[in-house]
Amino acid sequence: MTEININNLVKSFGFRNVLNGFNIDINSGERVALIGANGSGKTTVFKIIAGIENPTSGSVSIRKGVTIGLLSQVSPEVNNSITVKMLLTECFKNIYEIEDQMHKLEIKMGSLINQEELDIVLKRYGKLQDKYEQLGGYEINSELSKICNGFKISAEMLDRPFNSLSGGEKTRVNLASLMLNKPSILLLDEPTNHLDIETLEWFENFLNNYKGTILISSHDRYFLDKVVKKVILIERGKSEIFHGNYSYYLAENESRILNEFADYKTQKKQVEAMKESIKKLREWGKIGDNEGFFKRANCIERRLEKMELLERPQLQKARLPLNFIQNDRSGNEVIIISNLCMVYGGKVILENANFDLLYGEKVCLMGKNGSGKTTLIKLILGELEPLSGGVKLGSNLKIGYLSQHIAFPDESKTIFEEFREHFNGTETQLRATLAKFQFNGENIFKRIEKLSGGEKVRLKFAELIQNEINCLILDEPTNHIDIDTREMLEESLQDFAGTLFFVSHDRYFINKLANKVVELENGKIVSYLGNYDYYKLKN
């Protein structure tokens, strides 16, 4: 049964069509991913389905009687007096009203003596009890407990005002509220932001058992692989459908691009042959003074004008040129951690921890939120002093560091002004270097405060490349960047000749890069010689 049908949808903002002939057909119970570059119109599609925005033209049909729940990237505003528990239990309002009526009748029954009156009240109580049971009144507490545990919403958090929460906490609460409401159609716009791996895995399992239709936009490719069975790609305002998960989409899309390129080459040869025929026929017409040759040439020319010329597909994905100049490679032992102890904020972070990072390794540091991953990085960088034990850096080591929250000294500066301070060379060379990092033309005069997460990552790498770095330390490098930038970064880091030590919750990213995983847990560092899937297998 069709749940959502969108036909020839156009949505304009000013003079630009964000969606331009967009089509989708989603059936009941399907799990679908909506993917595309930032600004391609994914959030706009969600808002149109939810009825928040209207299309410029085209049709949107939603099956009659369904309920729609939207998780937006921007948290809704609520009154300051609203607590987390009030927000989560709002969906049980009708059940609580019935419960209150039942309680009042219970009190009344205890004081009645007349049997006739008692029978009337009992009958009314029975009807309320049936309705209470049908609505799931007896399962409320277990359902609330299950959802709160899954999204790590503590009893202390339940009593806090919603507006006092951090952005990540609000996301978890909004997700929990949506799951408790159980809408027929779930619209999830970036639901995995701020969720740690443990919560993500619980959420994947929850969605796989959800009795409803799900449309998801997410940069977490591992999550999409686990949950969705159909992928809708938005490109140039139109849709392309892939019947499989994200990994299937990657393989199928590559195959389609290769076929498109073959068609493009065939058409190009055909066009060149037609142009050559036109040229020869007109030459022969002039030589022989024969009008027939000119007519044949004109006929071919008209056919050529009516042809819909194919665009050349892009075969190679863009890469960040992370070809760091390494005149001196580091020693074989890059970082040696010995009996390291650290207490931070009254909590034991490290207790006699030991770990060796060797030249050429690509190592992912994992651990639950608050386990001390960023603290360990700061100890390695010398920004914090350990309680005891030591961190020894190897010979000829030159570290490049990308922090979790990328910031620049003066974000009112333009890209050009900021990069100029790190670049030795002419303006022409500077522009050429920025162009390799996808900052072209007038874009280099964009102010840093206006940059997206992906643009800031690219600019920071452009600055790091100016140094003779042989070890990269990255703290959550894929936060706030889209899939295209993540894949670009992966391809580039795979070719990095030095040592890579990184923190990430992106399991797809870890699988692509890591040849070793080290887990920080209970103050200890435990090593696993493999990627994320190997680590998961051993736990």
Count the neighbouring beta carbons within 10 Å of the beta carbon of residue 303. 11
7-28 per-position pLDDT tens digit: 999 999 888 889 999 999 999 9
Count the neighbouring beta carbons within 10 Å of the beta carbon of residue 288. 10
Please, which pLDDT band fits residue 360 given cuts at 50, 70 and 90?
Answer: very high
CA distance 506 to 245: 17
Candidate from 117-121, 155-159, 254-258, 525-529 with smallest mean pLDDT: 117-121
- Which H or E run contains 381? helix 373-381
Q: What pLDDT score was predicted for residue 118?
A: 75
Q: What pLDDT score was predicted for residue 77?
A: 80
Dihedral (CA of 323, 517, 502, 523) sign:
negative
471 and 400 Cβ atoms separated by less than 8 Å: yes
207-229 per-position pLDDT tens digit: 999 999 999 999 999 999 999 99
Report the pLDDT averaged over residues 232-260.
93
37 and 484 Cβ atoms separated by less than 8 Å: yes
- What is the full DSSP assignment across 182-236? --SEEEEESTTTT--HHHHHHHHHHHHT-SSEEEEE-S-HHHHHHH-SEEEEEET
Is a pLDDT exceeding 80 seen at residue 439?
A: yes
CA distance 80 to 72: 20
Please, which pLDDT band fits residue 318 given cuts at 50, 70 and 90?
Answer: low
The residues near 100 (Cβ < 8 Å, ≥ 6 apart) are none
Report the pLDDT averaged over residues 297-316.
85
Candidate from 93-102, 136-145, 310-319 with smallest mean pLDDT: 310-319
Structure letter (DSSP) for residue 139: G
Report the pLDDT averaged over residues 261-283.
90
Three-state DSSP at 140 gives: helix
Please, which pLDDT band fits residue 112 given cuts at 50, 70 and 90?
Answer: low
Candidate from 35-44, 80-89, 116-125, 349-358 with smallest mean pLDDT: 116-125
512-539 per-position pLDDT tens digit: 999 999 999 888 999 999 999 999 998 8
Phi, psi at residue 497, to the nearest 5°?
-85, -15
Please, which pLDDT band fits residue 188 given cuts at 50, 70 and 90?
Answer: very high
Structure letter (DSSP) for residue 476: S
Q: What pLDDT score was predicted for residue 67?
A: 94
Q: What pLDDT score was predicted for residue 291?
A: 85
- Which H or E run contains 59? strand 57-62
Which amino acid appears at position 142 of this protein? S
Average pLDDT, the chain: 89
Could you tell me the CA-to-CA distances from 528 to 219, 243, 253, 520 in Å, in that order? 26, 35, 33, 12
Q: Please state the separation of Cα 162 from the chain's center in Å.
A: 24
Share of the chain above pLDDT 70, in %: 97
Please, which pLDDT band fits residue 316 given cuts at 50, 70 and 90?
Answer: low
Show contacts of 438-444: CB within 8 Å, 24+ apart: 438/318, 439/415, 443/415, 444/414, 444/415, 444/416, 444/419
Is a pLDDT exceeding 80 seen at residue 57?
A: yes
Of 74-88, 174-188, 288-302, 432-446, give the range with the top mean pLDDT. 174-188
367-417 per-position pLDDT tens digit: 887 788 989 999 999 999 999 998 999 998 999 999 988 889 999 999 999
Phi, psi at residue 150, to the nearest 5°?
-60, -40
CA distance 377 to 138: 48
Report the pLDDT averaged over residues 471-494.
87
Please, which pLDDT band fits residue 326 given cuts at 50, 70 and 90?
Answer: low
Longest dimension (CA), the chain: 121
Q: Please state the separation of Cα 157 from the chain's center in Å.
A: 26
Three-state DSSP at 316 gives: coil
Structure letter (DSSP) for residue 151: T
Structure letter (DSSP) for residue 467: S
Count the neighbouring beta carbons within 10 Å of the beta carbon of residue 407. 9
Which amino acid appears at position 427 of this protein? E
Please, which pLDDT band fits residue 325 given cuts at 50, 70 and 90?
Answer: low
Residue with tokens 């002093």: 385
Model pTM score = 0.83
Q: What pLDDT score was predicted for residue 485?
A: 83
CA distance 487 to 508: 10
322 and 308 Cβ atoms separated by less than 8 Å: no
The residues near 412 (Cβ < 8 Å, ≥ 6 apart) are 447, 448, 449
83 and 157 Cβ atoms separated by less than 8 Å: no
Residue with tokens 């020894």: 392
Please, which pLDDT band fits residue 34 given cuts at 50, 70 and 90?
Answer: very high
Q: What pLDDT score was predicted for residue 193?
A: 80
CA distance 336 to 355: 6
